[in-house]
Structure 1
Amino acid sequence: MSTVESETARERNKAIIRRVFDEFVNQGDFSVVDELYGDDMVDHQPLPGAPEGLEGVRYTIAGLREGFPDLHVTIEDISAHADHVVIHNTWRGTHLGDFLGLPPTGRAVAFHGVVVWRLRDGLIRERWGIGVESNMLAELGMRRLAPGRRGGARASRGAAVSTVTSLLPLLPGAAGRWKRLQEELAGPRLREYEASRRRAGIVRESFWRQGSAGADVVVHSLEAHDPGRAGRRLRASTDPFDTWLRTTAVEVYGIDPWAELAEGRAAEPGHGWTSVTSELTPVGDA
């Protein structure tokens, strides 16, 4: 490919990504998905519960626009190299709808992020979000999802961190109690929660409520250098907050998720555990 052709391709790719934000994200025009994305599209940071492929792309943006009806993304900088496009952007919106199980707070949020795209033959094939999700959740007061950012459990550069994920079906009639639990952890008990996770050595923990075949399921994800040891610490803890959280979890899920983690075994039927290991680089103080 000649220099002129390469430059033309880069400008075409940047124009495609601008349309994603201008027409799809900001205006809610879902018709552009079939035009701009390839059928083999892979989103590496979708909303939890998103299906694969193009339906997952629609699911993620629909979820964001439901939670933030006035969502608007401003592209601060855009660059292209070969078949990749990098966006530095600012996300703004008002939390007026249910978002990942968090009821509307009415809070106006503004946060920054980086999104990397890979295109081929004029169609989007892959997407990576860097800092978008964590910055958004922090703005919503959900810093409990990353307690390590406040210091005690901060990871060192290049340290191996294991991510353990489980599916926790809510007990019948427990949806309201689960929502109140999330509100408590995000509000009056946030500092207790963060202190608890620092003591256990947990770098990041999240809970996402999703519908599954007519049942409510919570995706529980935990990152730690040694998840089993973190689970054992929480199971053995006599701290009043830890005792309260374990008891409440049993009321909501029918099990203690951290006790299951401590045993290093598969959870009860319907609670499928998976684990991956990643390299975590440090982040600054929140």
Structure 2
Amino acid sequence: MRTEHSGRPLSRRAALEVGGAGLGLLLAAGPPCPATAANPSSLDRQKEIVRRLFDDGINLGDATLLAALYAPTGAGSDAGASSAPAPAGMPIPLRDLRRAIPGIVATIDDLVAEGDLVAARISWRGPHPPQGTHLAGQTMHLFQLDHERVIAQWAAGWDWLEKRGIHTLCTPANPLLEP
């Protein structure tokens, strides 16, 4: 594995340190799905899909693109979130996040691909008008892709939002949340 940011090799041990126990368990679970060849061009394509998810889907607010990048039966998990995940493992839907933090920007700090998995370390920044401050935080995401669509995802590190009460924007009536 190599990090997108530095180009240096990233060992499984280093990935565990960056991504926490959830990433470590997934890496220890065994080889990736054989449906995706682990050649450099397919790995680059998978990283490009995740890059589009954050750069265009989240930063530009393109919900149509987000829906297209996820398989209809995609599963997700967010370690520590109080609600079911929305795209990119977010604890709240994109429109609610953008309403709470107008102008929020996700910056990809590191992007690593191996097999059918793409790991991303993301920095988030944006103004929070109710408190008159700027918010900043980091999250770690792991995406499993098949046929160029996200079929599963895991995310950790959203506690910086929950500490500000932003997770309370979730409502059962929201169609992006699972029951």
1:8 to 41, 56, 77: 41
Partner of residue 112 from structure 1, selected from 135, 138, 149: 138
CA contact (8 A) 1:83 1:119 kept: yes
Specify whether residues 83 and 107 from structure 1 end up closer, same or farther in structure 2 by C-alpha distance, changes over 3 A only. Answer: same
Q: Find out whether 1:137 has 2:170 as its counterpart.
A: no
Q: Quickly say closer, same or farther: Cα 1:209–1:7, change in 2 above 3 A.
A: closer
Is the 2:105–2:125 Cα contact (8 Å) retained in structure 1?
A: yes
* Compared CA separation, residues 92 and 210, structure 1 to 2 (3 A): closer
> Structure 1 65/72 Cα, relative in aligned 2: closer, same or farther at 3 Å?
same
Partner of 1:72 in structure 2? 105
Q: Unmatched 5+ residue regions in structure 2? A: 1-33, 174-179
Q: For residue 12 of structure 1, what is the amino acid of its counterpart?
A: R
Relative contact order higher in (CA < 8 Å, ≥ 6 apart):
2
Partner of 1:23: 56
TM-score, normalisation: structure 1: 0.41
Distance in 1 separating the partners of 2:169 and 2:93: 14
Residue 84 (structure 1) aligned with residue 100 (structure 2): no
CA distance in 1, matches of 2:102, 2:63: 15
Higher helix share: 1
Which amino acid in the other structure matches residue 78 of structure 1? L
Q: Deviations over 1:177-230 (max 9, x none)?
A: xxxxxxxxxxxxxxxxxxxxxxxxxxxxxx8465446xxxxxxxxxxxxxxxxx
Larger-gyration structure (1/2):
1
Distance 1:37 1:75 in 2: 19
Q: CA contact under 8 A between 2:59 and 2:106: conserved in structure 1?
A: yes
**Does the 8 Å CA contact 1:88/1:115 hold for their aligned counterparts?**
yes
Q: Which runs of 5+ in 1 are unaligned?
A: 97-103, 143-206, 214-286
Identical-residue share of aligned pairs (%): 25
**Corresponding residue SS for 1:35:** helix
The 5 Å alignment of 1:99-248 reads 104-131=130-157, 133-138=158-163, 140=164, 208=168, 210-212=170-172
Q: CA deviation at 1:21?
A: 0.7
Deviation at 1:53, TM superposition (A): 8.1
4+ residue stretches of structure 1 with deviation over 6 A? Answer: none
In structure 1, what residue type is equivalent to 2:147?
Answer: D
SS in 1 for 2:131: coil
Give the whole-Å Cα distance in 2 for the aligned partners of 1:72 and 1:122: 24
Within the alignment, does 1:33 sit opposite 2:66 as a pair?
Answer: yes
Q: What amino acid is the match of 2:160? A: N
* Preserved contact between residue 42 and residue 127 of structure 1 (Cα < 8 Å): yes
CA gap of 1:62–1:209, structure 2 versus 1, over 3 A, is closer
